[in-house]
């Protein structure tokens, strides 16, 4: 356990991990737990402060959540945010109303009382992010109102004697201009944290926790060479050494030289002890994909074959107690959106569990955001090439080849993509979310030397994106595109045209499938 931590109690809001992340940005360890966490466990954890998150429910009526109100008697400083603020008001005897007129969404101007303990360094008029229908109508006399908006007279309140603080708005969201300051004040000044937590402590605590959990058991990890599974595997190997086996399935749809690069780092000659098993299953995958052109079908075939290969290896190892997965927080949210339409089946997000006999899944990175995973990877000494790696889909190049996948086409796209990445690196183009080459299924007439050609068109894609849910095409300098084009047509056989994809997402997707 960390020597000081903040407990974020999750009431189902959208920004809950973001709260934890903002706290970690203050160099204080934070963990998110469900609001049902028993009070006895909270006492055992002994956090320096508790933050109650937002959530979609009302504090009254049928949808009211059943929580343990002894929470407010622990003597630990508490900050209620949005729903958390309403819950606190309700718990201490205030009144919360559902308000047609009082609801506020988006940027909202807030009047701040700077004598409020949370707000000593916040401007008297500031802008905050609001997202609520219900609002707090009254509070008991011993509570002070510390902020208000035009529609919401009680936008923040406190009772320092009881160590209770609340804000109707969301300090964790960047739209709340001074939100970080407010959270910092809570964590440092009010909770008295020292702010000496660093990623190294995350590594130490996680390794210790994994060691305790796994004990003498065996663990198995599907290593893809992506940053998430690499970091998860190294953490696990630090914890349990030889009890871990990592299986790396080379499905023949990886980027150029990638299989060998993964082997160089994680294999027996590399610095880590992960019992690395490389399965060269290239031909198996090509055989299964022969004649298949429909993208979703390709994904399904690859997903199923991957499972089969992995299962065969797992059987050779014998009993496995734990399956290690590199799930990170954004995967948790995405797969949590149960009713959203399936645009594409992400076979490697939460897709492995039910085919290997094991007791439990271990997800050491479940609470981290991508940049935090990268930082952890650096601290673990994983080479920069792996740590900085851009996202690469589980089904690999199969979904960057339009039409049938063949070994020859895989090679074309690997070579073209390697040239593209090399030139982008050389040119130092920045701020690209993702970039890669794909192979269209179009062949057209060209001329090379004195000969007519009838060859493929490679397409280059580069997007800028914050969250990979939407994206816009990047404006790669023309001379860079020109250089890439001439190298591809000169160096890669069977390519006589290079196209640039100018489409954003929507209406396209980032991948080219
Ligand atoms: P799209 O193409 O849906 O991609 O706009 C959004 C992001 O997701 C990645 N992607 C995948 N990642 N398994 C993954 O782990 C998959 O099956 C998969 N399909 C797409 C894509 O590379 C982009 O970053």
Q: What is the pLDDT of residue 99?
A: 67
DSSP per-residue letters across 333-401: HHHH-TTS--SS--TTSS--GGGS--SEEE-TTTT--HHHHHHHHHHTT--HHHHTPPP--TTGGGGGB
Q: Is the CB of 311 under 6 A from ligand 1?
A: no
Distance CA 103, CA 390 (A): 40
Q: Which residue has the higher pLDDT, 468 or 80?
A: 80
**Closest ligand 1 atom to 299 CA:** 17
Give, using CA atoms, the residue closest to atom 20 of ligand 1: 393
Distance CA 223, CA 386 (A): 12
Pocket residue to mutate for ligand 1, from 298, 348, 468, 501, most atoms within 8 A of Cβ: 468
- Secondary structure (3-state) at 297: helix
State the pTM of this model.
0.77
**Closest ligand 1 atom to 346 CA:** 17
Tokens of 491: 């160096």
Contact 190, 77 (CB under 8 A): yes
Q: Is the CB of 54 under 6 A from ligand 1?
A: no
Residue with tokens 């590594």: 203
User: Quick one: pLDDT band at residue 333, thresholds 50, 70, 90?
Assistant: low
DSSP per-residue letters across 298-345: HHHHHHHHHHHHHHHHHHHH---SEEE----HHHHHHHH-TTS--SS-
Tokens of 69: 């109100």
Distance CA 293, CA 286 (A): 13
Q: Is the CB of 97 under 6 A from ligand 1?
A: no
Q: What is the pLDDT of residue 319?
A: 85
Q: What is the pLDDT of residue 354?
A: 56
DSSP β-bridge partners for residue 246: 221, 276
Residue with tokens 């007279």: 153
Contact 436, 420 (CB under 8 A): yes
Distance CA 230, CA 208 (A): 19
DSSP per-residue letters across 154-204: -SEEEEGGGTEEEESS-TTSTTSTTHHHHHHIIIIIIS-------HHHHHH
Contact 291, 324 (CB under 8 A): no
Give, using CA atoms, the residue closest to atom 7 of ligand 1: 468
Contact 400, 432 (CB under 8 A): no
Eight-state DSSP code of residue 505: B
In the predicted structure, residue 282 carries a pLDDT above the cut 70: yes
Rounded to the nearest angstrom, the distance between the alpha carbon of 274 and the centre of ligand 1 is: 27
Q: Which residue has the higher pLDDT, 151 or 167?
A: 167
The mean pLDDT of 461-486, rounded to a whole number, is 93
Pocket residue to mutate for ligand 1, from 331, 346, 393, 474, most atoms within 8 A of Cβ: 393
Closest by Cα among 352, 260, 347, 346 to 310: 352
Burial class (CB within 10 angstroms; exposed 0-12, middle 13-18, buried 19+) of 350 = middle
Q: Is the CB of 394 under 6 A from ligand 1?
A: yes
% of the chain exceeding 90 in pLDDT: 75
DSSP β-bridge partners for residue 279: 249
Q: Is the CB of 351 under 6 A from ligand 1?
A: no
Rounded to the nearest angstrom, the distance between the alpha carbon of 394 and the centre of ligand 1 is: 8
Phi-psi label, residue 275: left if phi above 0, alpha if psi -120 to 50, beta otherwise: left
Distance CA 503, CA 92 (A): 54
- Secondary structure (3-state) at 213: helix
Residue with tokens 């991508």: 370
Distance CA 387, CA 483 (A): 27
Distance CA 286, CA 253 (A): 9
Rounded to the nearest angstrom, the distance between the alpha carbon of 331 and the centre of ligand 1 is: 11
Distance CA 272, CA 263 (A): 11
Rounded to the nearest angstrom, the distance between the alpha carbon of 326 and the centre of ligand 1 is: 16
Q: Is the CB of 369 under 6 A from ligand 1?
A: no
Closest by Cα among 102, 356, 347 to 224: 347
Residue with tokens 């299962």: 311
List of residues 6+ apart from 474 with CB closer than 8 A: 429, 431, 432, 433, 435, 462, 463, 464
The mean pLDDT of 338-346, rounded to a whole number, is 36
Q: Is the CB of 393 under 6 A from ligand 1?
A: yes
Q: Is the CB of 335 under 6 A from ligand 1?
A: no
Rounded to the nearest angstrom, the distance between the alpha carbon of 264 and the centre of ligand 1 is: 26
Residue with tokens 């490679």: 458
**Closest ligand 1 atom to 509 CA:** 5
Rounded to the nearest angstrom, the distance between the alpha carbon of 226 and the centre of ligand 1 is: 13
List, for residues 94-121, the tens digit of each pLDDT value. 999 986 667 888 899 999 999 999 999 9
**Closest ligand 1 atom to 505 CA:** 5
Q: What is the pLDDT of residue 474?
A: 97
Give, using CA atoms, the residue closest to atom 12 of ligand 1: 393
Give, using CA atoms, the residue closest to atom 10 of ligand 1: 393
Q: Which residues are catalytic?
A: 82, 170, 172
Q: Is the CB of 226 under 6 A from ligand 1?
A: no
List, for residues 46-103, the tens digit of each pLDDT value. 999 999 999 888 898 887 888 899 999 999 999 999 999 999 999 999 999 986 667 8
User: Quick one: pLDDT band at residue 356, thresholds 50, 70, 90?
Assistant: low
Contact 246, 215 (CB under 8 A): no
Domains and CATH numbers, the chain: 5-190 (3.40.50.880), 199-387 (3.40.50.620), 406-500 (3.30.300.10)
Q: Is the CB of 347 under 6 A from ligand 1?
A: yes
Closest by Cα among 76, 28, 381, 36 to 196: 28
Q: Is the CB of 348 under 6 A from ligand 1?
A: yes
Distance CA 511, CA 415 (A): 18
Q: Is the CB of 468 under 6 A from ligand 1?
A: yes
Rounded to the nearest angstrom, the distance between the alpha carbon of 414 and the centre of ligand 1 is: 18
Tell me the pLDDT of the chain averaged across its residues: 91
In the predicted structure, residue 150 carries a pLDDT above the cut 80: yes
User: Quick one: pLDDT band at residue 232, thresholds 50, 70, 90?
Assistant: very high
The mean pLDDT of 439-447, rounded to a whole number, is 97
- Which helix (DSSP H) or strand (DSSP E) does residue 439 occupy? strand 434-448
Q: What is the pLDDT of residue 328?
A: 87
Closest by Cα among 118, 107, 213, 101 to 159: 118
């Amino acid at each position: 356990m960390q020597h000081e931590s903040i407990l974020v109690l999750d009431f189902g809001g959208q920004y809950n991990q973001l709260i934890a992340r903002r706290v970690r940005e203050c160099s204080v360890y934070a963990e998110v737990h469900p609001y049902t966490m028993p009070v006895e466990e909270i006492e055992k954890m002994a956090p320096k402060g508790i933050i109650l998150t937002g959530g979609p429910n009302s504090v009254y009526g049928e949808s009211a959540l059943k929580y343990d109100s002894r929470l407010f008697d622990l003597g630990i400083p508490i900050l209620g945010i949005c729903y958390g603020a309403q819950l606190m008001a309700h718990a201490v005897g205030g009144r919360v109303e559902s308000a047609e007129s009082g609801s506020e969404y988006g940027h909202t101007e807030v009047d701040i009382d700077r004598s409020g303990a949370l707000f000593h360094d916040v401007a008297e008029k500031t802008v905050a992010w609001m997202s609520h229908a219900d609002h707090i109508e009254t509070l008991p006399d011993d509570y002070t109102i510390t902020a208000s908006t035009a529609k919401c007279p009680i936008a923040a309140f406190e009772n320092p004697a009881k160590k209770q603080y609340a804000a109707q708005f969301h300090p964790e969201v960047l739209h709340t201009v001074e939100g970080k300051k407010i959270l910092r004040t809570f964590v440092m000044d009010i909770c008295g944290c020292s702010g000496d937590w660093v990623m190294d402590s995350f590594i130490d605590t996680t390794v210790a926790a994994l060691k305790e959990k796994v004990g003498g058991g065996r663990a198995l990890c599907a290593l893809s060479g992506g940053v998430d599974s690499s970091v998860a595997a190294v953490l696990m190997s630090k914890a349990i050494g030889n009890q871990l086996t990592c299986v790396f399935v080379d499905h023949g749809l990886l980027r150029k030289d990638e299989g060998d690069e993964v082997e160089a780092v994680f294999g027996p000659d590399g610095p880590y002890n992960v019992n690395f098993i490389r399965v060269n299953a290239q031909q198996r995958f090509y055989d299964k994909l022969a004649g298949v052109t429909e993208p979703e079908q390709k994904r399904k075939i690859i997903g199923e074959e991957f499972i089969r290969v992995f299962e065969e290896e797992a059987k050779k190892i014998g009993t496995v107690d734990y399956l290690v997965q590199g799930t990170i927080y954004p995967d948790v949210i995405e797969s949590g959106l149960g009713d959203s339409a399936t645009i594409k089946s992400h076979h490697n997000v939460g897709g492995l569990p039910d085919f290997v006999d094991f007791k439990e899944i271990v997800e050491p990175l479940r609470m981290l955001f991508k940049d935090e995973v990268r930082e952890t990877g650096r601290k673990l000494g994983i080479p920069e090439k792996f740590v900085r790696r851009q996202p690469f889909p589980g089904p690999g190049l199969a979904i960057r080849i339009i039409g049938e996948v063949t070994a020859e086409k895989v090679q074309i796209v690997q070579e073209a993509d390697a040239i593209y990445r090399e030139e982008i690196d050389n040119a130092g183009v920045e701020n690209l979310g993702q970039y890669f080459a794909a192979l269209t299924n179009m062949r057209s007439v060209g001329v090379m030397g004195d000969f007519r050609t009838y060859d493929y068109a490679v397409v280059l894609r580069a997007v800028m994106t914050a969250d990979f849910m939407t994206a816009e095409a990047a404006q790669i300098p023309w001379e860079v595109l020109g250089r890439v084009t001439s190298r591809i047509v000169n160096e890669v056989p069977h390519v006589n045209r290079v196209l640039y994809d100018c489409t954003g997402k929507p209406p396209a997707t980032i991948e080219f499938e």
